[in-house]
Amino acid sequence: MRSPTHSALRPTRRSVLIGGAALGALPLLPHRARAAEWPTRPVKFVVPFAAGGTTDILARVVAAKVSEEFGQQFIVENKAGAGGNIAADAVAKAEPDGYTFIVGTPGTHAINQFVFKAMTYDQIKDIAPVIIIARVPNLCSVTNALPVKSVAELIAYAKSKPGELFYGTPGLGSTAHLSTELFKSMTGVEMTHVTYKGSAPALTDLIAGRVQVMIDNLPAAQPFAEGGQIRPLAVSTATRWPLLPEIPTIAEAGVPGYEAASWFTIGAPAKTPKEIINRLNASVDKFLKTEDGIARLRKLGAEPAGGSPEDMQAYVLAETEKWGKVAKFAGIKPE
């Protein structure tokens, strides 16, 4: 038998490309296998505010549903502080293995950069989008002891006592904060800001009368309004909320052109495998489109959203531009 020549042993360009592609694919195999098997242990949903607020409520509804689907526990961990920055920074720096996610808000994803001087994470580069859970209006409410029953009366009362009214928010840079600052700017009233680590403690003080006004997310405030513990005056959206048709908008109740709303998302550390992001996105999106999902969220005062990770990214970028203008208009300076 004739021995092979040197040229016969020389690899062809095609064989090099095929071999290179095969070698290049080797590291991906375990990665893809891990993504296909995910989750094999409990998954963490980090909430940037205290338990009992809107972010926490929605996180627990979604966590319970995906726990059922994946047969693995999704745990809600509350990590409050710095307007959500503590939680967002922790998730941004977490291992991108699909076991840590943030339930984000306009604060963590858009507003905080206009409120805080020292940002330890980049909300676009460090947090990968997964899905928008829901959008919600804010509810303008007052403590029952305050002698006002409408937005017009609130404006008149506040102007008669400049700086004497206190308004509570679930955190610096929250939509409740900017919504109220926008209200102040558009009406000329002076109120003093009191910040809390979440909606629940702020609402507790509103009920007790330690703060007199809140423009906070509807899901957190609605149970107390329905129970008569606080007095609802108006919603912050451009149109009335379908489930509360008797409550006017802030715009029609005395502040023409006023509009503000909040939204809630799921994000992951950058470099989290796309396969895992897509699997979680598909699970949550499916739930948000079911009759049960729609009914449950609307009962809480939220409008289900859903969509792709790319939809969330485009929305966050648009909202960042919008809230940046609001922060400037309201005269909020980074501190």
pLDDT of residue 323: 85
Q: Does domain 137-261 have CATH number 3.50.50.60?
A: no
The torsion angles phi and psi of 203, rounded to 5 degrees, stand at: -65, -35
Number of neighbours of residue 194 by Cβ within 10 angstroms: 16
Q: Which parts of the chain fold into alpha helices (H)?
A: 6-9, 13-25, 28-37, 54-70, 85-92, 106, 151-160, 175-187, 199-208, 218-226, 274-288, 291-299, 309-330
3 pLDDT more than 60: no
C-alpha Rg value of the chain to the nearest Å: 24
Calculate the alpha carbon distances from 151 to 189, 234, 277 in Å. Answer: 12, 7, 43
52 pLDDT more than 60: yes
Tell me which of 20-29, 33-42, 138-147 is least confident. 20-29
pLDDT (average), residues 127-155: 97
**Nearest Cα residue to 53 out of 285, 301, 306:** 301
CA distance linking residue 266 with residue 134, whole number of Å: 10
What residues form DSSP beta bridges with 75?
A: 44
The model carries a pTM of: 0.76
- DSSP one-letter string for 278-302: HHHHHHHHHHHTSHHHHHHHHHTT-
More reliable by pLDDT, 77 or 329: 77
pLDDT of residue 258: 93
What residues form DSSP beta bridges with 128?
A: 268
pLDDT of residue 27: 52
Which range of 11-20, 258-267, 285-294, 300-309 scores highest in mean pLDDT? It is 285-294
pLDDT of residue 6: 44
Share of the chain above pLDDT 70, in %: 90
Q: Which residue has the tokens 């006017």?
A: 248
pLDDT of residue 252: 96
List where CATH 3.40.190.150 sits in the chain.
40-136+262-330
**Nearest Cα residue to 142 out of 205, 50, 53:** 205
Q: Which fold has domain 40-136+262-330?
A: D-Maltodextrin-Binding Protein; domain 2 (3.40.190)
Q: How confident is the model at residue 4 (pLDDT cuts 50, 70, 90)?
A: very low
CA distance linking residue 215 with residue 187, whole number of Å: 14
The three-point CA angle 312-56-239 to 5° equals: 60
225 pLDDT more than 70: yes
pLDDT of residue 289: 97
pLDDT of residue 25: 46
Exposure string of 21-39, with b = 16+ CB inside 10 Å and e = fewer, is: eeeeeeeeeeeeeebeebb
140 pLDDT more than 50: yes
Q: How many CA atoms lie within 13 A of 59 on its CB side?
A: 29
pLDDT (average), residues 265-280: 98
List where CATH 3.40.190.10 sits in the chain.
137-261
